[in-house]
Structures are given as structure tokens and as C-alpha cells.
């Protein structure tokens, strides 16, 4: 160590010194300023400094000696004053470490809001397995054997997990499978929603993912008609997005509903004037729905001569996208804390 480094090391030691008792203060004095003390040793070394540097080091060493003396006096005064009370030890000016609280994932927040909205009008929550058999995902729902959804292109089949070996189990492609289970398990009135993860064999892009979340709903009772379906979905979209929002229905096709419809909502981003999100149409598609096909009721042990019902299904990511205006689906699953931290339960209106 050169002279500069030695001085700096002793200065650091002076600053860090603790000496709670008079004995410790004396030990400090001897260790620094005594005959063999560290400061004394540096003062002795002064005689070896080349003449042209004497002025510089003379000043520095004098400062060091002064610093050691005043530190000793400080410690001596503190030791004589007695031990500090616990209160004195608290330094209220010290910067605090801020606690880093976690937050709910935006998809969890939106899923819970959807559940709450339907909970208010008496819908219960049902759950089922993500690895599903052919009957619950397709067969009971009226998918003919050659339906393209049964193709490897669209569905992830799970090898060797079914009762008869390979290929008869799949990752569920929708939570309609849960509705089949609910209908099998009990008679109407049935009023339930099934939130959960679903899987489709899609290339991952800004607009599609191979895993996403759905909330599907089912209402079966005596005399349920299309008007109840429309009223329910109107209530849902206004509760979720605000009272000024309108819906419209377009005829569509699903194997398990007849008639079937696609539901569009007036674009919340531009208020219906036209923007890139609604592709300048003023409307965005938010879900599929329809009256439960009588054959599906019969497949599940419910008499279609007595009961009728409606069903609907929506993607939670899609709803979140319209609430939060996050255009790229992939952001939801990259787990970037800077993205996730922006969502709190009160961050959107409604
Ligand atoms: N199961 C359909 C889907 O996954 C959605 C749907 C549910 C449509 C219920 C109509 C009725 O796309």
C-alpha cells in the first residue's frame, strides 16, 4: 500500500470504530495514537517521504492526526454518557427499503371480474379437467367424427393417457367440456359458468396463442329462450365495459348450439367511430353463443322436450385486451415485471 492508501484505510477505520466503554476508548487511543499506533506509525513514515512531497503529505498526515484525536474525543464523550437507549439507535433519516408487493396477473383480475358479474345474477362456477376425453370435449357436444376441430392441426392430443391407450385424450379446446360434465351430474335448473385454461394448436403471434383462458356459460331451465340469452349478454357487457356499450348478434355456427350467433360489442376504443382495433367497423367480436342444441341436452341426460337452454363462451385475453388496450397477446405470458406491475384492480373503469 502506498501512503495515500494507508491514510485512506486508517480514515475508514476511524469512521467505523465503536467503543462503548471507557476501556474500549482507551484501547482505541492506544491503537491509533499510542507509541505503536497506526496513526503514529504513519507520522513516523513521514521522514522517508522524498523532499518534494513533504508539503503534501505533511498536510494530509496532520489532518489524519486531527481526525484521530477528535474521533477519540467523540468516543470518549459517548462512552462517558453511558449506553444509548434503544430510541437513540433509530435513525429516522435513513432511506428505507421499499417493500415490493406482488400484484394479480391481469388475466386473473379480468377472469375474477367476469365471475363476479355473472355471480350477481346467480351463476355458479364449475371446473373440470384440462386433459379431457373425446366425449366431453367433442362427442357429447355434437361434433361429427370428421369435424376439423378433431384434427391434429387444431387439437393437442395426449398420447397414451386414455382408457384405451393413445389418442383418445386431448388438452381441452374449450371449457364447453365442463358444461357437459355439469349436465351429466344433475338436472336443471342449471346456471353456471366455467372459467379455465384451454389449448389450441396455433402458431404463437400477437393475435393467437396455443394456450388461452375462457369463460363459458350455461343456463338450462324450463322455457329459456333467445331473449334471455341476449338480455344476459347485454347485462354482462355493460357491467364490464360501461352502460353506453351496445351489442349485436350475427348468425354463426357451432355444432352444439342451434341457432348460434357471434356477439359483437360497440368498439370501446373509438366509441364506434372506427379505429384499427375494430378494423374501422365500429364493432369488435367478443364471444360465441347460441341455444343449446336439443341433441346435446339429450346426450347429457336432460329431456329436451321439457328443458331448453342457452350457452356462450368468451376468451378472457380478448376481454382484457379491450379493457386494458394491450394489443399483443404475447405480453401477457412473458412475465415481464414491468408489464405486470401496471395492473391493479382499479386500473380500469367499470
Ligand atoms: N365453445 C365455443 C368456442 O370455444 C364458444 C361457444 C360456447 C359458442 C358456447 C357457443 C356457445 O369457441
* pLDDT tens column, 303-349: 999 999 999 999 999 999 889 888 788 899 998 988 988 887 654 43
Q: Which strand (E) or helix (H) includes residue 318?
A: helix 316-324
* Nearest CA owner, ligand 1 atom 6: 313
Domain covering 106-343: architecture: 2-Layer Sandwich (3.30)
Identify which of 94-108, 209-223, 272-286 has the greatest average pLDDT.
209-223
Q: Rounded CA gap, 202 and 156, in Å?
A: 10
Residue 8 has pLDDT above 50, yes or no: yes
Q: Which residue has the higher pLDDT, 86 or 269?
A: 269
Mean pLDDT score, 277-300: 95
* The predicted structure's pLDDT at residue 347: 44
Q: Which residue has the higher pLDDT, 251 or 169?
A: 251
* The predicted structure's pLDDT at residue 208: 85
pLDDT digits (tens, 9 = 90+) for 183-203: 999 999 999 999 999 999 999
C-alpha cell at 289: 353463443
Contact 130, 174 (CB under 8 A): no
pTM (two decimals): 0.71
Q: What whole-number percentage of the chain has pLDDT above 90?
A: 63
* Ligand 1 centroid distance, CA of 304 (Å): 20
Q: Which long-range contacts (CB under 8 A, 24 or more apart) does 76-84 make?
A: 76/22, 76/25, 78/19, 78/20, 79/19, 79/20, 79/21, 79/22, 79/24, 79/25, 80/22, 83/20
CA distances to 76, 252, 292, 298, 320 from 141, rounded to whole Å, are 88, 16, 9, 10, 28
Please list every protein residue whose CB sits less than 6 Å from any atom of ligand 1.
Answer: 174, 176, 216, 254, 257, 288-290, 311-313
* Ligand 1 centroid distance, CA of 8 (Å): 74
* The predicted structure's pLDDT at residue 85: 61
Mean pLDDT score, 215-239: 97
Which atom of ligand 1 has the smallest separation from the CA of 260? 10
Residue 38 has pLDDT above 80, yes or no: yes
* Nearest CA owner, ligand 1 atom 4: 174
Contact 224, 297 (CB under 8 A): no
**Burial grade of 258 (CB within 10 A; 0-12, 13-18, 19 or more):** middle
Q: Rounded CA gap, 174 and 179, in Å?
A: 10
* Ligand 1 centroid distance, CA of 167 (Å): 23
Average pLDDT in the chain: 90
Pair type for strands 124-125 and 131-133: unpaired
Q: What single DSSP character describes residue 17?
A: -
Residue 87 has pLDDT above 80, yes or no: no
CA end-to-end span of the chain, whole Å? 68
Q: Where are the domains of the chain?
A: 3-81, 106-343
Residue 258 has pLDDT above 90, yes or no: yes
* Ligand 1 centroid distance, CA of 277 (Å): 22
Amino acid at each position: 500500500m502506498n501512503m495515500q492508501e494507508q491514510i485512506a484505510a486508517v480514515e475508514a477505520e476511524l469512521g467505523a470504530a465503536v467503543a462503548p466503554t471507557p476501556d474500549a476508548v482507551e484501547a482505541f487511543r492506544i491503537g491509533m495514537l499510542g507509541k505503536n499506533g497506526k496513526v503514529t506509525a504513519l507520522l513516523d513514515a513521514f521522514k522517508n517521504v522524498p523532499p518534494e512531497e513533504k508539503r503534501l503529505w505533511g498536510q494530509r498526515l496532520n489532518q489524519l492526526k486531527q481526525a484521530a484525536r477528535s474521533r477519540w474525543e467523540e468516543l470518549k464523550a459517548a462512552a462517558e454518557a453511558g449506553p444509548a437507549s434503544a430510541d437513540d439507535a433509530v435513525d429516522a433519516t435513513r432511506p428505507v427499503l421499499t417493500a415490493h408487493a406482488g400484484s394479480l396477473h391481469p388475466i386473473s383480475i379480468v377472469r375474477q371480474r367476469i365471475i363476479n358479474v355473472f355471480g350477481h345474477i346467480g351463476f355458479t362456477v364449475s371446473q373440470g379437467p384440462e386433459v379431457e376425453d373425446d366425449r366431453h370435449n367433442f362427442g357429447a357436444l355434437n361434433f361429427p367424427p370428421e369435424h376439423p376441430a378433431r384434427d391434429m392441426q387444431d387439437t393437442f392430443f395426449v398420447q397414451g393417457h386414455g382408457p384405451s391407450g393413445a389418442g383418445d385424450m386431448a388438452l381441452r379446446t374449450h371449457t364447453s367440456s365442463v358444461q357437459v360434465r355439469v349436465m351429466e351430474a344433475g338436472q336443471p335448473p342449471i346456471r353456471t359458468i366455467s372459467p379455465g385454461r384451454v389449448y389450441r394448436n396455433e402458431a404463437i403471434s400477437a393475435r393467437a396463442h396455443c394456450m388461452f383462458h375462457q369463460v363459458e356459460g350455461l343456463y338450462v331451465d324450463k322455457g329459456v329462450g333467445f331473449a334471455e340469452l341476449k338480455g344476459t349478454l347485454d347485462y354482462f357487457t355493460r357491467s364490464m365495459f360501461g352502460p353506453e356499450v351496445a351489442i349485436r348478434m350475427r348468425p354463426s355456427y357451432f355444432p352444439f348450439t342451434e341457432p348460434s350467433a357471434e356477439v359483437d360489442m360497440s368498439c370501446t376504443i373509438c366509441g364506434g367511430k372506427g379505429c384499427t382495433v375494430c378494423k374501422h367497423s365500429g364493432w369488435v367480436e367478443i364471444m360465441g353463443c347460441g341455444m343449446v342444441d336439443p341433441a346435446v341436452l339429450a346426450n347429457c341426460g336432460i329431456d329436451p322436450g321439457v328443458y331448453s337452454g342457452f350457452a356462450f363462451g368468451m376468451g378472457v385475453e380478448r376481454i382484457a385486451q379491450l379493457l386494458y388496450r394491450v394489443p399483443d397477446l404475447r405480453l401477457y405470458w412473458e412475465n415481464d415485471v414491468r408489464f405486470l406491475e401496471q395492473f391493479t384492480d382499479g386500473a380500469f373503469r367499470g
